[in-house]
Amino acid sequence: MRRYSAFAIAREALRHHEGWDRAWRSPAPKARYDVVIVGAGGHGLATAYYLGKNHGIRNVAVIEKGWLGGGNTGRNTTIIRSNYLQDPSAAIYEKSRSLYETLSQDLNYNVMFSPRGVMMLAQTEHEIRGYQRTAHANALQGVATEFISRQKVKELCPIINIDGPRYPVLGALWQPRGGTARHDAVAWGYARACSDMGMDIIQQTEVTGVTREGGRVTGVETTKGPIACGKLGIVVAGHSGVMAERAGFRLPIESVALQALVSEPIKPVMDVVVMANTVHGYMSQSDKGEMVIGGGADGYNNYTQRGSFHHVEETVRALVETFPIISRLKMLRWWGGIVDMTGDRSPIISKTPVEGVFVNCGWGTGGFKAIPGSGWAMAELMAKGHSPLAEAFSLDRFREGRFIDESVAAGVAH
């Protein structure tokens, strides 16, 4: 694989850009692989990448029903933070955030990581106490956060209205090294690196069944024929329950739609990410000038990629009070993604009842920020059978009552 560099750009400019190679190969599937990963989103591609980079396992296929990065990876609001209350959550999200810091250099691909800072608004007295508690916990976990005053909030984000009648801003939990990245670029960068290691990325191919023998996985059935494998990773976001049933077991998850929208582009007015969890709305400004807005998940199970109007209405109504200038903006695009939710709103990275089958799912509304850390942990689990980062997120916790309930502990699971 030719490395991207300023010299390469200059050389190709002189050649009318006719010398660029394809970023990744699109081969026909082989008869057998050491590892098959189902799902070519960020988490699946990161798992394959760290299998190769960290553990030398490169006879790997990543199989995708649609197109690479066409699911939740390309349908989120790109927020990256690690200021969680529970120790297992903080550990894996901080690992992920730290990997994002150097991901462009590691992949030789600009993922446009922007550590612009993330603030989570405290708009009730209860939230003040909760975020101060989280700041103390983060200090013990080695995660750099602080609780800031309402005046500091206004200083960091001048367009915010801190005196709203319904939702006044009383302070915020601030993580200076949180931020955003380009979601498509994260998937493309991982795919390019995986392809360079000799891995096969097979798109437009549905896995229709899982073959077993003596309680152990032997391969998968696909729309392009059977593929044998030694280990199978299921990393399919909102369709995890469907794939688990095909493998012969059930997961404690439910699928719902999570929606977001962007406004028409405007001049730069906001260089931080703001989350308002009382009203379940969050907003940042993209490099193109669009105001990127997200809200809560739908209150009913569904597989739609559109979402419901009432959630957008509630989110925008509350954010207009907090950011009055957006009342004059027009909506440019509106979309939804299918997320899978566990009972404790924390992910599952685990072995399964079928030997050789591993599952990575349940990230709910906060999956993008976890992509590098999730891939690191899943790869370690598949290669070694154990991962310190993944241990607390096993399926056993639901049977044993070891819940990691971030939605209760921190008031939000994003």
CATH number at residue 295: 3.30.9.10
In a shared domain, residues 90 and 44: yes
Which residues are CB-neighbours of 38 under 8 A, at least 6 positions away? 44, 63, 207, 220, 232, 233, 234, 235, 236, 243
At residue 48, the pLDDT reads: 98
How high is the mean pLDDT in each 10-residue block of the chain (414 residues)? 87 88 92 97 97 98 94 91 95 97 96 97 94 96 97 96 90 97 96 97 96 96 97 95 94 91 95 90 94 86 78 85 92 90 93 97 92 98 97 95 76 50
In a shared domain, residues 286 and 172: yes
Is this structure's pTM higher than 0.85? yes
In a shared domain, residues 366 and 382: yes
Nearest alpha carbon to residue 61 among 80, 77, 47, 81? 47
Residue 70 located in a structural domain: yes
Residue 10 located in a structural domain: no
Which residues are CB-neighbours of 179 under 8 A, at least 6 positions away? 80, 113, 114, 115, 116, 117, 118, 273
β-partners of residue 179 are: 80
Q: How many domains does the chain have?
A: 2
Q: Is 209 helix (H, G, I), strand (E, B) or coil?
A: strand
CB atoms under 10 Å from CB of 29, counted, come to 18
In a shared domain, residues 292 and 389: no
Output the DSSP codes for 45-82. Answer: HHHHHHHHHHH----EEEE-SSSTT-SGGGSS--EE--
In a shared domain, residues 263 and 248: no
Residue 2 located in a structural domain: no
At residue 411, the pLDDT reads: 47
At residue 277, the pLDDT reads: 86
At residue 285, the pLDDT reads: 96
In a shared domain, residues 226 and 370: yes
CATH number at residue 373: 3.50.50.60
Q: Record the tokens describing residue 387, joined without a space.
A: 């991962």
At residue 408, the pLDDT reads: 55
Residue 226 located in a structural domain: yes
Q: How far, rounded to the nearest angstrom, does the alpha carbon of residue 219 sit from its chain's CA centroid?
A: 27
Q: Looking at 284, 310, 342, which one is the last position of a domain? A: 342
Residue 399 located in a structural domain: yes
User: Distance between terminal CA atoms of the chain?
Assistant: 36
In a shared domain, residues 332 and 274: yes
Residue 16 located in a structural domain: no
In a shared domain, residues 35 and 134: no
At residue 168, the pLDDT reads: 93
The number of C-alpha atoms within 13 Å of 98 and in the hemisphere containing its C-beta is 11
Phi and psi at 105, nearest 5°, equal: -70, -40
Q: Looking at 300, 318, 342, which one is the last position of a domain? A: 342
In a shared domain, residues 126 and 201: no
Residue 3 located in a structural domain: no
CB atoms under 10 Å from CB of 39, counted, come to 27
Residue 15 located in a structural domain: no
Q: Looking at 342, 361, 385, which one is the last position of a domain? A: 342
In a shared domain, residues 192 and 278: no
In a shared domain, residues 187 and 299: no
For 374, the domain range is: 21-81+85-107+183-252+344-409
At residue 136, the pLDDT reads: 97
In a shared domain, residues 164 and 280: yes
Query: How far is Cα 48 from Cα 315, in angstroms, rounded to an integer?
Result: 36
